[in-house]
Amino acid sequence: MDLFEKCYRYDQPQRIMEAGLYPYFHALESAQDSEVIMEGRNIIMLGSNNYMGLVNDPRLKEAAIGAIRRYGTGCSGSRFLNGTLVLHHQLEDAFAEYFRKEAALAFSTGFQTNLGVVTAVVGLHDYIINDAENHASIVDATHLSFCKKAMKFAHSDMEDLENKLRRIPEDAGKLIITDGVFSMSGEIANLPEIIRLARKYGARVMVDDAHGAGMIGVEGRGTASYYGLEDETDIIMTTFSKSFGSLGGVVAASAPVINYIKHRSRPFIFSASIPAASAAAALAALQIIRSEPERLQHLADVSNYMRSRLKAHNIPIMEGTTAIIPIFTYGTERTFRIAKRLLELGVYVNPVVAPAVSEDECLLRTSYTAGHTMEQMDRAAKMFVQAYQEL
């Protein structure tokens, strides 16, 4: 069979388009913000991961422009060779201190950070134990690692995690990986119990805090800080593309671990380094987050207010405490219809359907930022009520 035959036969997106329900690739005509211009209309943005509301902040833009003036638009090489800037060292030192670790290492994307870390530290005789709802980058990193065996424990099921750990030889290397804040549900990982089991069975713990950093914890330091377990968490990673208003990723750990990753990680060694503009913007965002704690409080206030407004109108939501509020729509077609109607009314949300969730548990993933106002939440809540009543 021709290699491209599967491409020619793949028509699911076209069928959804023909039904007028295709919900993806809506183009923005303005900067990412609490309200955006999309397809010529003003839209309340409830689908962004811009949790700290910094993507369009003038200070980040000026930092990026200044870095371009000084360093140019790219680094033209790997960090290993000609691609390391003084700015990269400043960025890594700042995030190491932020996460209360000895050292840190910046990657060109968050996805690449997980690939680079997991494939470096896990060897032929080691085991990986993943939460079943970990991000796709962790799943791919697991597949690409040379681990002896990968295991998956039922989501947030500590009994199942312990059962998996019991089956691993006592003298084997073990890495437990979990999202800090799970991207679809907004649920916070049970890190205290994960660490307790890790210590009991001689495992190490890695937390993907792409969504947790800048959302929870002291100064927004994420899940480990939220539980007061920074010293007990072996590896912390986050991405710059969410709360830090930029692009890239960083991992923080002990100095020997970072040194090992730096010299053994193929995605790090063989990729061009993060551009100066992205590094400078992320560093500026970190400084703002640490100096303006009111942003974290406002994010919590806005999220809780919207949660209460939805519940007051009997809109079915998944309970939680973070800035991610999943709203149940159940069926696939109904999900697409509600998302379409909401966009017509003036609010953008992310529809989540199978295989990301089961076919009867489809949802709208809504997320909130420190740039949102209570007035915007009132308007958005009315749109949800109207869309649900109509459909």
Per-residue pLDDT tens over the stretch 22-47: 999 999 999 999 999 999 999 999 99
pLDDT given for residue 354 in this prediction: 87
Per the rule left: phi > 0, alpha: psi between -120 and 50, beta: everything else, 76 is left
Q: Residue 160's pLDDT band (boundaries 50, 70, 90)?
A: very high
pLDDT given for residue 42 in this prediction: 97
Beta bridge partners of 375: none
Per-residue pLDDT tens over the stretch 265-293: 999 999 999 999 999 999 999 999 999 99
d(Cα 360, Cα 377) in Å, to the nearest integer? 28
C-alpha dist (Å) from residue 95 to 102, 107, 131, 201: 10, 12, 25, 29
User: Which among 101, 135, 242, 298 is annotated as catalytic?
Assistant: 242
Q: What is the pTM of this model?
A: 0.96
Is-contact 274 104, C-beta < 8 A?
no
Tell whether the model's pLDDT for residue 391 goes beyond 90: no
User: Which among 101, 174, 211, 262 is annotated as catalytic?
Assistant: 211
Closest among 324, 325, 388, 334 to 359, alpha carbons compared: 334
pLDDT given for residue 357 in this prediction: 84
User: Which among 183, 241, 303, 367 is annotated as catalytic?
Assistant: 183
Tell whether the model's pLDDT for residue 350 goes beyond 90: yes
Is-contact 250 98, C-beta < 8 A?
no
pLDDT given for residue 1 in this prediction: 86
Tell whether the model's pLDDT for residue 358 goes beyond 90: no
Tell whether the model's pLDDT for residue 99 goes beyond 90: yes
Residue 183: active-site member: yes
pLDDT given for residue 360 in this prediction: 87
Tokens of 94: 């700042």
Q: Which of 330-339, 351-360, 381-390 has the lowest mean pLDDT?
A: 351-360
Residue 164: active-site member: no
pLDDT given for residue 251 in this prediction: 98
What is the DSSP secondary structure assignment for residue 172, as one 8-state letter? S
The stretch 71-94 carries a mean pLDDT of 96
Residue-range domains of the chain with CATH:
5-56+293-390 (3.90.1150.10), 58-291 (3.40.640.10)
Tokens of 155: 């989501």
Return the amino acid letter for 114: N
The stretch 176-189 carries a mean pLDDT of 97
The stretch 52-78 carries a mean pLDDT of 97
Cβ-proximal residues to 155 (8 Å cutoff; 6+ apart), any chain:
131, 132, 133, 182
Residue 242: active-site member: yes
Tokens of 168: 């691993």
Rg (CA), the chain: 21
Q: Residue 333's pLDDT band (boundaries 50, 70, 90)?
A: very high
Residue/partner pairs of 149-157 with CB below 8 Å, 24 or more apart:
151/127, 153/129, 155/131, 155/182, 156/131, 156/187, 156/189, 156/190
d(Cα 358, Cα 191) in Å, to the nearest integer? 26
